[in-house]
Chains A and B, each alone.
Chain A
Amino acid sequence: MNDIIFLVDMQSFYASIEKSANPNLKNQPVVVAGDPERRSGIILAACPLAKKYGVKTAEALWEAQQKCPHLVIVRPRMQLYIDISYQITQILERFTDQVEVFSVDEQFMDLTGCERLFGDMNTIARKVQEEIQEELGVYARVGMGPNKILAKIACDNFAKKNDEGIFYLSQENMKQTMWKLPVGKMFGVGSRMERHFHRMGIQTIGDLANYPVHYLKKRWGINGEVLSNIANGIDYSPVTTHTHNSQKAVGHHMTLPRDYETLEDIKIILLELSEEVAKRARSKNYRGHTVSLGVRGANFDHPTGFHRQIKLTSPTNYGMDLFQAALQLLNKHWDGLPVRSVGVTLSQLQSADVYQLSLFDASVEKDQLSQAMDDIRLKFGQTAIVRASSLRDGGQVFDRSKKIGGHYK
């Protein structure tokens, strides 16, 4: 017997939430968009009415307004969206305890063996849709399959496009359906990969499925075989609930409100990010051994930037250590061109309970200092104590403390 896996996807999630929160918006074209002043002014979600005017996700706000002048623009409320996503997780857990959250608006369910409880899979899918619609006013689409990849493709390419919002993709029907799709529509194939495939004469997913796997492996290694498996509807990964428990890295990334051109300005941001990363590592009781820095240039047409990492002599969760390492990377690799976004990541994590003391490094002092700062922040708020450099106009801490994922809470 086959497993039954669902991928439940919310239609224009943020926009739907805003529409059900405010009934006045019901028959109006609504988009959720960031602040245009701060360059996060892109469309995060557009409701189906807005999409009819040709408004697309991720385009600039002004572009959307040109297409649809009476567009209703709503500011994002990230915390609300996370809370609703969590409510949906709880609704799905009424059907099965095997629920894996894949993103804020997509969740996997494993319903193998649940038919006797709730009926066949189409019945369950409709019930899932009904309960989410009734309780939260969001329309959910359900992709079904014998494994996660077929459920995902069923949802992205078929359930989203048909009237009932439900589609079952199996090893049997995938040759008549999925294989006919252009290869660029496949999960895991971006525009660059698509170009490579076109050059190799692969146009559809079916072409890729029948392409000898050893050529793909030779050219792209593991990833080549993964893509071949996907095209053949093969996926052995389980639906796991504890997928978010283990952490490999702590990172922070920021798109700057304007292009930063001087080393002075970039250093301010670098220190803020380092402090932030260190703070989060400490709160999770981690130390990390490797620091990586990513910088992206401001000019989209001539993409510049780098992503490099450096291994520290000893694991740390102290902000200044991260900053020193990141600065070293910046000095070495930065080409001096204006910078649009910066990210600092601490990886190779280990528990902070046990660590090797360093002879030449006052680690006890650093620990006490960090501890004191964390305590102050815990009691008086995240911006109660900040580096003096953050008070200069390049500083972003105060703005960031009001945001989740770069958008207002």
Chain B
Amino acid sequence: MPNKLTHGHNLMWESSRMMLPEHKEILQQHQQKLNLKTKPQLDEQEVQCLEQQLNEAIHSGSTVTLVIFGPIEHLKLTGKIGMVDHQLRQIKILLPNDELEWVKFKDIMQIE
């Protein structure tokens, strides 16, 4: 356990300050905003590779794990690919617990 004398820790200050919970909340949101991720630009080959993998997964009906872009945290979804909607450019994922989730093409970052 670090104590007030441990180097590199902030306990001396943390134990003596007064912060309203509402104030902390704003600062936490602020910190999160600072770390927002921007979507990486996929190059042509990568897009092609993703398409190929997607195709394979649809035809073989195998279970795949998709990494989906999120500004705070990337999301990992594991399931079978159910349907492809070309109009809205999204795919339907059947999750193992019988729920389903629609995912936009442009948000897919990785397929395993």
Residues on A facing B (Cβ under 8 Å): 78-79, 82-83, 85-86, 89, 97, 100-104, 148-149, 187-188, 222-223, 225-226, 229, 235-238, 240-245, 280, 404-405
How far does the Cβ of A198 sit from chain B's closest Cβ, in whole Å? Answer: 22
Contact, CB under 8 Å: A222 / B3: yes
Chain B nearest CB, measured from A141 CB (Å): 18
CB atoms of A82 and B23 under 8 A apart = yes
| Whole-angstrom CA separation of A225 from B7 in the bound complex | 13
Show 11 residue pairs from A and B whose CB-CB distance is below 8 angstroms, ordered by the A residue.
Answer: A82-B22, A101-B19, A104-B20, A188-B16, A226-B5, A226-B12, A236-B8, A237-B10, A243-B13, A244-B24, A404-B22
Contacts of A226 in B (CB 8 A): 4-5, 12
Inter-chain contact B22/A79, CB cutoff 8 Å: yes
A237→B12 contact, CB < 8 A:
yes
Residues of B within 8 A of A (CB): 3-5, 7-14, 16-24, 26-28, 30-31, 34
A361–B22 alpha-carbon span in the complex (Å)? 33
A interface SS class = mixed
Question: A222 to chain B: which residues have CB within 8 Å?
Answer: 3-5
Please give, as numbers and ranges, the residues of chain A lying within 8 Å of B12 by CB-CB distance. 149, 226, 235, 237
| Closest partner residue, chain A, to B26 (CB atom) | A86
In the complex the two chains form, what is the Cα distance from A245 to B27 in whole Å?
9
**With the chains together, A242 CA to B21 CA distance in Å?**
15
| Contact residues in B for A240 (Cβ distance below 8 Å) | 10
B20 touches A242 (CB 8 A): no
Do A229 and B13 form a contact, CB below 8 Å, given A103-B19, A244-B19, A245-B28?
no
Which residues of B have CB within 8 Å of A241?
A: 31
Residues of chain A within 8 A (CB-CB) of B9 are 237
Query: Which of these, A97, A238, A244, A404, contacts B28 with CB under 8 Å?
Result: A244
Query: Closest approach, in angstroms, between the C-beta of A84 and any C-beta of chain B?
Result: 11
Q: Which residues of A contact B20 (CB under 8 A)?
A: 78, 82, 104, 404-405
What is the CA–CA distance of A232 and B58 in the complex, to the nearest angstrom?
A: 69
State in angstroms the CA–CA spacing of A23 and B109 once bound together: 54
Chain B nearest CB, measured from A185 CB (Å): 15
A102 to B28, CA, bound (A): 14
Measured CA separation A296–B14 after assembly (Å): 24
Residue of A nearest to B20 (CB): A405
Q: How far is the CA of A102 from the CA of B16 in the complex (A)?
A: 9
Among residues of B, the one whose C-beta sits closest to the C-beta of A221 is B3
B31: which of A78, A187, A229, A245 is its contact (CB, 8 Å)? A245
Closest to B18 in A: A103
| A82 CB contacts on chain B under 8 angstroms | 20, 22-23, 26
Interfacial chain B residues near A101, Cβ < 8 Å: 19, 23, 27
* Residues of chain B with a CB closer than 8 A to A242's CB: 31
CA–CA, A149 and B12, complex, Å: 10
CB nearest to A251 among chain B residues: B21
